[in-house]
Structure 1
């Protein structure tokens, strides 16, 4: 068996050929951004102000199937260090919680939601919610939306990657990396994000496949992993139990209120493109999750003492030959960049379109300032969470799933049955109970009850009350009469 060093400096493994390959991929990504910016400028010369702004936000609703798949797949995996850390520590549990649960949500979105939103011609998720419930609901959901798409986890991932190559403090690497992404996210518009995602899509998918292929070639298949890892690594619930596992299932359902999904569906040239694109993307995500989960498990089997946050990258750097190592590094960077640029852009859109006064909505400069503000806030929050990607996901994902999920789904199933005020009340009660439960002290059985369950129970029961309230009121009136 090949001996691997769990504490090797990543920079010591990178050859001249690796640097050439790595820089070539970066140059191609930069060229795609410049191409996207030039196309946007040409289009803006022949359009009025509102059409130009729609092109900035949604590429003029002309997103074709190949571009839809590339940008959707690429956007979804910026937290690769978080995913591989879970797999390194828990094994197949990662595939269940960060893969299988999400596939269910994707399929629900494709078959249930696409047809319900296609005729509304919304620009953002809060815009859609406003059309379903009212203006107060739109503003409140925009606030949720903003915190949901703050790219904190992906800023951390970018900082970790840069730190492992160049050294230095995590906060400094995070700051430099985020401001690099800000440059093209601010000025290129959604079109530049999509074109950069196209390059990053191919690089990231091939990169993780190479790691798994070389792992099997060097160490053998599933038999090697079973001999080298504890049995819990092959348990669907890992070492945490069914309760915690199912929490991730609810968080996965937050996809149904995820603004990145909606943005790409709104940008698609037809509902058919969006539906087919989500289903094809799900198949690609399945393959990607197989590669990252088992790749991290090989890292655990061969370098059990490695730092779990860095293990996958150090492992991959040592088993790949010159050239392919550089491609793999570019693939991991592409995975991070393709997500953080989308989240920066979308959070900026939330500020500039959903939360800004109407008279300022169509001003591109407002969008640029929004993206810049989001970048600064993401850097600050990355320090607040102390570089813990899993905690970021669970904290923000829990709030989104607990407070928005049921009200929005209720609106799809029973259109017009709850008012603008009732939607707002339901979501706020979800925030209050979720936040309280997260910070309160619990004993006995209640120690194992996650705050997400409390939030979902609150919003679900409130919706039931609002649904039956008119019938109770009518019945009471009839009895009085």
Structure 2
């Protein structure tokens, strides 16, 4: 018999504690091992930020796959409330974006040999574009939902208040990430990747063995849980498809590609990760559906975790708890690291001599800001992802893609004006009271349309001027 409210510690025994501690110890050991390798490679900013661009395929797959699911409580909350709608908006749309990135953008990204996404924008468009993209990157990569996930985890397992869980947990992650650089993040991801994938797979296997498959779920869930839109409407659902395209300007993807050994490593790695993410999504979505069927009165964000703890036997229970922690930590350390790079390398570039020290200090400033914003968003995962993702996608997607397809055709000032004007319009549109058809249109669509018009007209104007100049030269 499953209950919606439990004390997690009442379900844990010595075997669970031993397994949980072993996973943490192994993770710590890998961080230390990564740090020793960094010292052997003589350190330096390139090694600290990008592992000297020597990321091999196994390491690339482990670190990229692990760094993508830190908001596991949020994903499970969406599934609990809306069913397979989660698999569509947090899964299927994103697979398309991953494949586009792998097949069409990796070679263009690697060609520039940049350090960060804003650094790439500088090389493609100019210094104003670099600063503009750095601001958008910073707010998009702020690990708000992952800080919140860590606070919820520590609250559920140890009874710690969520805010104090966010503070203590994030401080721990900031310390080891700032100390070891990308190597610490990557080598910890190796353990976290294996544990998190096995943990969610075990929950699915035990669920199928104990309750059966689709027939059980259909008999115990609302019909809307098997609808693509989940009752949210097509306009709202399709926005997530466009937000998923923000992957094409996602700093985490770019960082791993910059760090990869070569184009083949990055392209193959992303395609392999896409398959892994599909399997992971199947496991977590299915598990959350079982949780909704068996614990309909549970808190949506907590239900999957509470269900799995009651489902699994001792030993595996401790492994699952470690797996959920691994999911959160592997994304939180990655996003903290990229945000600190954005501050130290892009926003404060040439302001300080010791960029490495400024990078490390930035970890703790960013951690504090992420905690404050997690409190501001009142723990609403969907709202956090929707807000930050929509700005990044609507404002930077069109200029960056335009730069790839028509290199040299978008001017530095136009890039900056397009991004900032689109962001301003999104903000104003969402603040103003609206009704009727206008009330159904999100500001995201307005920003994306304006960006397309500004960038498109600039490209046409530039091509027209070039053709006119070419024609004039030919007459001479």
The answer, yes or no, to whether TM exceeds 0.5 is yes
Structure 1 unaligned runs (5+)? Answer: none
Quote the Cα distance in structure 2 between the aligned partners of 1:8 and 1:458.
Answer: 50
Given the alignment, which residue of 268, 278, 293 partners 2:285? 293
CA offsets, 1:257-307, max 9 Å, x none?
A: 000000000000010000000000000000000000010000001111111
Kindly indicate whether residue 137 of structure 2 is the aligned counterpart of residue 125 of structure 1: no
Greater shift after overlay, 461-470 or 324-333?
461-470
* Match runs of 1:42-441 below 5 Å: 42-44=40-42, 52-358=44-350, 360=352, 363-441=355-433
Quote the Cα distance in structure 1 between the aligned partners of 2:18 and 2:441.
Answer: 51
Quote the Cα distance in structure 1 between the aligned partners of 2:284 and 2:260.
Answer: 29
User: For the Cα contact (< 8 Å) 2:102–2:266, is it kept in 1?
Assistant: yes
Q: C-alpha displacement at 1:12, in angstroms?
A: 1.6
What's the Cα RMSD here?
A: 1.6
CA offsets, 1:193-229, max 9 Å, x none?
A: 0000000000000000011111001100111001111
User: For the Cα contact (< 8 Å) 1:130–1:137, is it kept in 2?
Assistant: yes
CA offsets, 1:294-330, max 9 Å, x none?
A: 1000000111111101001000000000000000000
Quote the Cα distance in structure 2 between the aligned partners of 1:145 and 1:5.
Answer: 42
**Alpha-carbon distance change, 124 to 470 in structure 1, aligned in 2, over 3 angstroms:** closer
User: 2:11 aligns to what?
Assistant: 13
User: For the Cα contact (< 8 Å) 1:353–1:361, is it kept in 2?
Assistant: no
Quote the Cα distance in structure 2 between the aligned partners of 1:118 and 1:400.
Answer: 21
Quote the Cα distance in structure 2 between the aligned partners of 1:474 and 1:150.
Answer: 41
| Secondary structure, aligned partner of 1:122 | coil
| Secondary structure, aligned partner of 2:41 | helix
User: 2:32 aligns to what?
Assistant: 34
**Alpha-carbon distance change, 317 to 362 in structure 1, aligned in 2, over 3 angstroms:** same
Quote the Cα distance in structure 1 between the aligned partners of 2:65 and 2:236.
Answer: 26
Structure 2 unaligned runs (5+)? Answer: 472-476
User: For the Cα contact (< 8 Å) 2:166–2:371, is it kept in 1?
Assistant: yes
**Alpha-carbon distance change, 32 to 476 in structure 1, aligned in 2, over 3 angstroms:** closer
| Secondary structure, aligned partner of 1:145 | helix
CA offsets, 1:381-415, max 9 Å, x none?
A: 11111122211101100100110011101111111
User: For the Cα contact (< 8 Å) 2:345–2:355, is it kept in 1?
Assistant: no
**Alpha-carbon distance change, 263 to 471 in structure 1, aligned in 2, over 3 angstroms:** closer
| Secondary structure, aligned partner of 1:309 | coil
Q: C-alpha displacement at 1:473, in angstroms?
A: 7.1
User: For the Cα contact (< 8 Å) 1:353–1:362, is it kept in 2?
Assistant: no
Q: C-alpha displacement at 1:362, in angstroms?
A: 5.6
Greater shift after overlay, 193-202 or 436-445?
436-445
Kindly indicate whether residue 446 of structure 2 is the aligned counterpart of residue 454 of structure 1: yes
Q: C-alpha displacement at 1:468, in angstroms?
A: 2.5
Quote the Cα distance in structure 1 between the aligned partners of 2:314 and 2:466.
Answer: 75
Greater shift after overlay, 232-241 or 252-261?
232-241
Quote the Cα distance in structure 1 between the aligned partners of 2:336 and 2:34.
Answer: 17
User: For the Cα contact (< 8 Å) 2:409–2:462, is it kept in 1?
Assistant: no
User: For the Cα contact (< 8 Å) 1:296–1:311, is it kept in 2?
Assistant: yes
| Secondary structure, aligned partner of 2:30 | helix
User: For the Cα contact (< 8 Å) 1:352–1:361, is it kept in 2?
Assistant: no
Quote the Cα distance in structure 1 between the aligned partners of 2:141 and 2:467.
Answer: 44
| Secondary structure, aligned partner of 1:282 | helix
Q: C-alpha displacement at 1:241, in angstroms?
A: 1.3
Equivalences, count: 470
**Alpha-carbon distance change, 60 to 176 in structure 1, aligned in 2, over 3 angstroms:** same
Quote the Cα distance in structure 2 between the aligned partners of 1:361 and 1:221.
Answer: 60
Quote the Cα distance in structure 2 between the aligned partners of 1:414 and 1:43.
Answer: 38
Quote the Cα distance in structure 1 between the aligned partners of 2:157 and 2:466.
Answer: 68
**Alpha-carbon distance change, 277 to 357 in structure 1, aligned in 2, over 3 angstroms:** closer
**Alpha-carbon distance change, 416 to 27 in structure 1, aligned in 2, over 3 angstroms:** same
| Secondary structure, aligned partner of 1:358 | coil
TM-score of the aligned structures, taking structure 1 as reference length: 0.95
